[in-house]
Amino acid sequence: MSTKVTKNYLKCPSVNELEAHILYSDKYAITLYNVQKNGILTVVPDFKSLEDSHTTYIILRGSFIYNSGSEEVDLEEKDAIEIDNHTSYFFLESKDGGSVLAIENGTSTYVQNISEKIEEELKRNPDFDHKEVASSIDVIRLANLIVKYLPWTIDLDKLTKAALIRDIGKLEIDEKILNKPGKLTEQEFQIIKLHPEKSLKYMNGTFDDPVIREAVLEHHERLDGSGYPKGLKDTDISKEAKILMVADMYSALTNKRVYRHEKYTPEEAYEIIKNDCNKNKLDKDVVAALHKAIMDKEEN
């Protein structure tokens, strides 16, 4: 099935009646998400490799735009989106504010709300649109996989939010620098290095949290102090940032970039990352967890 959009999915005469009976059970987790005006739910499924796992998202109130990166559909009250373990991600953008009911079976789905301030900035920057935000989905999924193999206590919701907006500060970087098809000059690289700090100004509302703030600010630091923007060392870097720096690096290596047309295989990317770990740039526990996560992805 992957993703299925159904118009007029909900046949009951009153959504008020359904909304009044929201509950949790052993078989289903039923959750109500309220989305502010111009807010976005970013849905990133993390299925447990069960072929019969699925989640249905029902529009209870308001109008939404469904965006899968390749398709857009207008949704109204009583319409629904059904997903299974073949779905990578999608966005639900609220036009005037609304409610979405998630009925989950055998899944753990991370749902985030992009703040209105970020949404307004994205609309003013057509070269940095939803597709650019969607590029964070790969990092989100990998970061959450890495956590599965770490003996650390990590708030997955906060880690996911940090992964989603970690590069939002690039909105303020000249696109000629961001899209330069070659090596940056030292001056250009100094400008790029400002983006983690620029990201902090967008951290209002649901993102205004010290754990998220540290992860966003520090995800380009390195354990030996060679990273940016502050040159922090091992014990001064948050655990969430240590996870994101590895997930971000792996994603960059295994995908094409404007400055590098070829992409590395998972094995090649891991070897590069392991080499940096041996140089005391990346956390050894996170890199070991990455290796297990890569094997997990390949098996599924």
pLDDT at 171 over 50: yes
What three-state secondary structure class fits 200? helix
**pLDDT top residue among 240 and 176:** 240
Whether 105 and 238 map to the same domain: the answer is no
The pLDDT of residue 131 is: 46
Whether 287 and 247 map to the same domain: the answer is yes
Neighbours of 241 (CB within 10 A): 27
Whether 110 and 126 map to the same domain: the answer is no
Whether 285 and 238 map to the same domain: the answer is yes
Whether 102 and 127 map to the same domain: the answer is no
**pLDDT top residue among 128 and 238:** 238
Whether 94 and 230 map to the same domain: the answer is no
Domain boundary among 114, 133, 167: 114
Residues 182-193 pLDDT 10s:
788 899 889 989
The pLDDT of residue 199 is: 86
Q: Please report which confidence band the pLDDT of residue 4 belongs to, taking 50, 70 and 90 as the band edges.
A: confident
The pLDDT of residue 129 is: 46
Whether 212 and 284 map to the same domain: the answer is yes
pLDDT at 47 over 60: no
The pLDDT of residue 107 is: 58
Whether 109 and 121 map to the same domain: the answer is no
The crossing angle, in degrees rounded to 10, of helices 239-253 and 284-299 is 50
- CATH number for the domain harbouring residue 275: 1.10.3210.10
d(CA 34, CA 14): 18
- CATH number for the domain harbouring residue 110: 2.60.120.1030
Whether 135 and 51 map to the same domain: the answer is no
Whether 109 and 119 map to the same domain: the answer is no
Whether 183 and 107 map to the same domain: the answer is no
Domain boundary among 91, 114, 137: 114
Q: Find, among 198, 175, 202, the residue nearest to 118 by Cα.
A: 202
Whether 148 and 62 map to the same domain: the answer is no
Residues 128-151 pLDDT 10s:
544 455 567 778 878 888 988 998
Domain boundary among 88, 114, 140: 114
Is the pTM higher than 0.75?
Answer: no
Neighbours of 161 (CB within 10 A): 25
Lowest mean pLDDT among 28-42, 113-127, 174-188, 272-286: 113-127
How many independent structural domains does the chain possess?
2
Domain with 71, as residue range(s), is 1-114
**pLDDT top residue among 247 and 3:** 247
The pLDDT of residue 93 is: 81
Lowest mean pLDDT among 63-72, 107-116, 140-149, 236-245: 107-116
